[in-house]
Structure 1
Amino acid sequence: MIDFSILFEDGEALVIDKPAGLPLDRPRAGGPCLEDHLDDLRFGFQREPFPVHRLDRDTSGCLLLARNPKALKRFSAAFEARQVEKVYLGVVAGPVEGESGTVNLSLSKVSTEKDGWRMIPAKKGKPAVTHWRVVDRRDALTLVEFRPETGRTHQIRVHALAGLGHALVGDPVYGNGKGAKRTMLHAAALTVPREGKPPIEAQSPLPPDFHALGFDLG
């Protein structure tokens, strides 16, 4: 049983601090996943909560769950309409030129028998926009804040490599997989507007493995 930190809670929404290494869906090879814990996350409510958006297995931090179908529909629509403010922190495996900017590179999925599937920049791909700014620099590593406008699969990971010149530390698909036990990406904050109600606002503290690389937000 994982003792999830609850970052936000009310009658229709729950934001948990998802640990790195926990996939949302059951892996093909089997093993633990978020589905195993949804019953424990009911906290007395009739229904199990349902994830509104996706986080990669390695990505830690803010994950929004809806407590009923109507809330799920509204929250999903807010994501689709790009009304949700998402803030990620990632450790880039190299020096980043400049202090801030925007990566605007459309993405497309490709698959080969040798390497499996991945996302690549492609003119005919789906639009993908990520705003970024440097938060801190340590030796050859750079802590970067990413604010994605769109929510494409692996968007930040590909934009880090193609737009900033280096993959995220630990990324085995777009980088060399070295420097950390996981891809160093953290969903640090989430804001979801709601009509007639205060917005859902959640923040997740920087995980220990970021501190282990020398980064501290104070």
Structure 2
Amino acid sequence: MPSAIIAEDDDGIRLDRWFQRHHAEVTFNIVSRWSKTGAVRLDGVKAGPGDRISAGQALVWPDVLPEPATPRPVEKVRPPLHPDQIAYMRSMVIHMDAHAIVINKPPGLATQGGTGISTSVDAMLDALQFDAAARPRLVHRLDKDTSGALLLARTARAAAFFSKEFAGREAKKTYWALTLGVPEIRSGTIDAAISKQPGSGGEKMHVDPETGLKAKTRYRVVDKAAARAAWVEFQPLTGRTHQIRVHAAAISHPLIGDGKYGGKESYLTGGISRKLHLHSRRLVIAMPDGGTLDIKADMPSHMAESFAMLGFDLALGDYEEPPPPPPPKKLPRRLSSATSGNRRGERRSRGTVAEAPPRRK
């Protein structure tokens, strides 16, 4: 009978998921049938498709399928990458450890493929496999024209962990942007639901308080160039498509270079680049081993040039909010002299009798 020892990378997943990863021809139904007859076992014990497996366990299963399995569609073989593509991808790496790789994605490069997209980060992830058992996995994404920190998971376990962090809004993402004009309220939270704009084919979003999905973005103005433009820091508290761009336009200060949501007015004159000025500056996320990853990505050249032209001091950008002061200590309650000897509410113990005063002779 075939056998295997469960690897660390598969620790904690369901048994049917293990077969899906390593023996795609063994479907959920097949594992279920084997389970009923005791033909699939973990450490000698009968196992079912929904059982969680642990690293180091010995798995055995039949070498003959109980029924002809419908073959799954054959995945397209990815063509080998050109040395220039490998060098290009590796030049983006700003952090790498056993669990994660972080790249500084340039503007104009899509995270994933799609209609009209010839290349993407996902298509070139083989370049970042290095010494790992498999190519890294995407766990979140950035818009094509947005630059900055993009996290990749190096193992299946890390991918599951990071995905939960992003889904649970535990990861802290900080974006730098250049807006048209200066928001009158210098800091606050934009709370405006977002949905797909009808007639746009899902390519454009808009504020929709009635049927939209909840979307919240915290922001603060870092610096300004008179009334012409502002350097704004954004922190999305939810993860809707184009959220920062839609919210910036909703407060009448679209991002510079964002023709989709700001129209022609979003393009400044005077040598300011027409590219979108939105950059994922910082990512803070918990790590599977219990540590914390805190990484910053430098701005692309077009944003750095715009900031320099407008006279912004980059030292102002990495402002850390001071922690809130600790709550005042509660002073112990002082007792009055009248009650200090016999506190209110105290009861004498049962079975004792007070002595009577002595009689005078």
Offset at residue 172 of structure 1 (A): 2.1
Q: Does structure 2 retain, via aligned residues, the 8 Å contact 1:8–1:201?
A: no
| Counterpart residue number, 2:297 | 204
| Counterpart residue number, 1:107 | 194
String of CA shifts for 1:36-75, please: whole Å, max 9, x gaps. Answer: 3211111221211111111000000000001112111111
Instruction: Report the TM-score when normalising by structure 2.
Output: 0.57
Aligned length: 216
Paired letter, 2:112? D
Q: Does structure 1 retain, via aligned residues, the 8 Å contact 2:122–2:138?
A: no
Q: Does structure 1 retain, via aligned residues, the 8 Å contact 2:147–2:279?
A: yes
| Counterpart residue number, 1:151 | 239
Offset at residue 111 of structure 1 (A): 3.0
In 2, Cα distance between the equivalents of 1:33 and 1:111?
27
Q: How does 1:1-218 map to 2 (within 5 A)?
A: 1=85, 2=88, 3-112=90-199, 117-123=203-209, 124-139=211-226, 140-163=228-251, 165-176=252-263, 178-179=267-268, 180-194=273-287, 196-213=289-306, 214=309, 215-218=312-315
In 2, Cα distance between the equivalents of 1:27 and 1:10?
30
In 2, Cα distance between the equivalents of 1:4 and 1:159?
33
Q: Does structure 2 retain, via aligned residues, the 8 Å contact 1:88–1:189?
A: yes
In 2, Cα distance between the equivalents of 1:171 and 1:216?
23
In 2, Cα distance between the equivalents of 1:197 and 1:182?
39
In 2, Cα distance between the equivalents of 1:116 and 1:11?
37
Instruction: Report the TM-score when normalising by structure 1.
Output: 0.92
Q: Does structure 1 retain, via aligned residues, the 8 Å contact 2:275–2:302?
A: no
In 1, Cα distance between the equivalents of 2:111 and 2:203?
19
Paired letter, 1:176? G
**Higher radius of gyration, 1 or 2:** 2
Paired letter, 2:275? R
Paired letter, 1:192? I
When residues 207 and 49 of structure 1 are mapped into structure 2, their CA distance, relative to the original with a 3 A threshold, is same
Paired letter, 1:161? A
String of CA shifts for 1:63-96, please: whole Å, max 9, x gaps. Answer: 0001112111111111111100000011101222
Q: Secondary structure of the residue that 1:7 maps to in structure 2?
A: strand
How much identity, in percent, do the aligned residues show?
Answer: 37
Q: Secondary structure of the residue that 2:148 maps to in structure 1?
A: strand
Q: Does structure 2 retain, via aligned residues, the 8 Å contact 1:6–1:14?
A: yes
Offset at residue 194 of structure 1 (A): 3.0
Q: In terms of mean alpha carbon deviation, does 79-88 or 28-37 score higher? A: 28-37
Paired letter, 2:247? H
Q: Which protein has the bigger helix share?
A: 2
In 1, Cα distance between the equivalents of 2:221 and 2:142?
22
Q: Which protein has the bigger strand share?
A: 1
Aligned alpha-carbon RMSD (Å): 1.8
Paired letter, 1:207? P
**Structure 1 gaps, min length 5:** none
In 2, Cα distance between the equivalents of 1:73 and 1:54?
15
